[in-house]
């Protein structure tokens, strides 16, 4: 059985698809077999990313490591059935990476209950934090979990009842800026407090960088730059690579020793 990595957060634009693509690429580049699913049936950013990658590699005759992407079929059959049909052929991969939509859907809930590792990217803002927990406006103290955390809690319950391993939940901060240090620290402190209360680990995360988005049309990530003839990385790209390396190390996935 594959180790299932779910990337979820019921909020659009928090970096789920960007994180999915980078984690999947890092794993395939390190020689692991990776199946991929995109449950955002409307936007399909992750699926399109991989399709772009395939098309670019074919066009330029490049031998790029590729996740095995399995789209959810369209049609009249029940969603659960279409989900099972998509995941079955990739169940023998070492990893299956599932990107979720930025809203609560039946498929997203199902995926969360299958997660061995759950990655939740979070923009560095209390607006995004609000999906994880409610904060007292006067003291900044955590008052209690909110909708998304409760959904994860329900998924954890379901797994415990089925006798499965608990979910290893990692919250990773995204689009960290060099400005707004005060906000950054406050969000960081709140996350550290919440991490203990509701049971997740905090990853250092990605800064706001063009490299995380500019390669989408070709389906590439910064790890592929050498393959397209970029011989030396600029400082920002070197730092981005370090951020991805740190995330991969924090994930601590079975059988993976991070070397890139
Ligand atoms: N660290 C980052 N630096 C710069 N742009 C980013 C970063 N993370 C995400 N983006 C951009 O933000 C937008 C939303 O990201 P995306 O991964 O599609 O989020 P989600 O899948 O959660 O909706 C996209 O335009 C993406 O390219
Ligand atoms: Mg997305």
Asked whether residue 256 is domain-assigned, the answer is: no
- Does ligand 1 lie within 6 Å of residue 43's CB atom? no
- Tell me, using a 6 A CB cutoff, whether residue 206 lines ligand 1: yes
Please count the structural domains in the chain: 1
- Residue 184 included in any domain: yes
Q: Is residue 258 in a domain?
A: no
Could you list the pLDDT tens digit for every one of the 260 residues in the chain? 999 999 999 999 999 999 999 999 999 999 999 999 999 999 999 999 999 999 999 999 999 999 999 999 999 999 999 999 999 999 999 999 999 999 999 999 999 999 999 999 999 888 999 999 998 888 878 888 899 999 999 999 999 999 999 999 999 999 998 777 888 888 899 999 999 999 999 999 999 999 999 999 999 999 999 999 998 889 999 999 999 999 999 999 999 999 99
* Closest protein CA for atom 13 of ligand 1: 13
Question: How many angstroms separate the Cα of 78 from the Cα of each of 70, 98, 169?
Answer: 17, 19, 29
Tokens 């939940």 correspond to 169
Query: Considering the domain boundaries, does residue 85 fall inside one?
Result: yes
Predicted confidence at residue 140, as pLDDT, reads 78
**Mutation test residue for ligand 1: of 6, 8, 18, 203, the one with most atoms within 8 Å of CB:** 18
User: What strands, in cross-sheet order, belong to the sheet with 34-38?
Assistant: 68-69, 34-38, 95-99, 3-7, 117-123, 168-174, 201-203
Q: Which CA distances in Å does 144 have to 118, 125, 148, 153? A: 20, 17, 12, 13
Instruction: Tell me which H or E stretch contains 194.
Output: helix 181-198
Query: How far apart (Å, rounded) are the C-alpha atoms in residues 141 and 139?
Result: 5
Among residues 72, 6, 67, the alpha carbon closest in space to that of 44 is found at 72
201 occurs within a structural domain:
yes
Token pair belonging to 143:
């008052």
Binding site membership of 148 for ligand 1 (Cβ less than 6 Å): no
Amino acid 183: pLDDT? 84
For the chain, the farthest-separated pair of C-alpha atoms sits apart, in whole angstroms, at 59
Rounded-to-integer distance, Cα 121 and Cα 13, Å: 9
CB 248 within 8 A of CB 81: no
* 10, 15, 246, best to mutate for ligand 1 pocket (most atoms within 8 Å of CB): 15
pTM to 2 decimal places: 0.97
**CATH label of the domain that carries residue 75:** 3.40.50.300
Compute the CA torsion angle 208, 185, 148, 37 (nearest 10 deg). 30
Burial of 164 (0-12, 13-18, 19+ CB in 10 A): middle
Task: Give residue 184's pLDDT.
Answer: 86
SS3 of residue 149 by DSSP: helix
Q: Please report whether residue 227 resides in a domain.
A: yes
Query: Residue 3: beta bridge partners?
Result: 95
pLDDT at site 20? 98
Contact 129, 190 (CB under 8 A): yes
Element (H, E) at 102: none
Contact 90, 47 (CB under 8 A): no
Report which bound ligand comes closest to the CA of 10: 1
- The per-residue pLDDT for 179 is 74
Q: CA angle at residue 155 from 149 to 156, to 5 degrees?
A: 90
Burial 241-255 (b: 16+ CB within 10 A, else e): bebbebbbebbebee
Give the structural domain span for 225.
Answer: 3-251
101 C-alpha to ligand 2 centroid (Å): 6
Q: How far is CA 129 from CA 63, 188, 192, in A?
A: 40, 10, 12
Nearest atom, ligand 1, residue 206 CA: 1
Q: Which of 6, 7, 11, 13 to mutate to test the pocket of ligand 1 (most atoms within 8 A of CB)?
A: 13
The angle subtended at Cα 19 by Cα 13 and Cα 4, nearest 5°, is 115
48 within some domain: yes
Whether 259 is covered by a domain: the verdict is no
């Amino acid at each position: 059985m594959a180790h299932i990595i779910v990337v979820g957060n019921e909020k659009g634009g928090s970096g789920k698809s960007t994180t999915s693509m980078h984690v999947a690429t890092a794993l395939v580049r390190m020689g692991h077999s990776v199946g991929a699913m995109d449950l955002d049936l409307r936007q399909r950013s992750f699926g399109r990313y991989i399709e772009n990658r395939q098309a670019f590699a074919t066009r330029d005759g490049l031998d790029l490591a590729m996740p095995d992407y399995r789209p959810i079929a369209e049609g009249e059959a029940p969603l659960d059935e279409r989900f099972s049909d998509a995941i079955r052929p990739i169940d023998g991969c070492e990893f299956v990476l599932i990107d979720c939509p930025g809203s609560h859907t039946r498929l997203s809930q199902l995926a969360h209950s299958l997660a061995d590792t759950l990655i939740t990217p979070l923009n560095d803002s209390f607006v995004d934090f609000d999906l994880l927990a409610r904060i007292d406006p006067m003291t900044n103290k955590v008052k209690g979990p909110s909708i998304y955390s409760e959904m994860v809690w329900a998924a954890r319950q379901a797994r415990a009842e089925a006798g499965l391993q608990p979910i290893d939940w990692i919250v990773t901060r995204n689009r960290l800026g060099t400005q707004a240090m005060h906000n950054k620290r406050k969000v960081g402190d709140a996350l550290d407090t919440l991490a203990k209360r509701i049971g997740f680990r905090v990853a250092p995360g990605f800064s706001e960088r063009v490299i995380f988005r500019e390669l989408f049309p070709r389906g590439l990530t910064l790890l592929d730059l050498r393959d397209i003839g970029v011989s030396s990385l600029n400082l920002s790209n070197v730092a981005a690579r370090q951020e991805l390396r740190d995330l991969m190390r924090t994930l601590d996935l079975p059988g993976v020793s991070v070397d890139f």
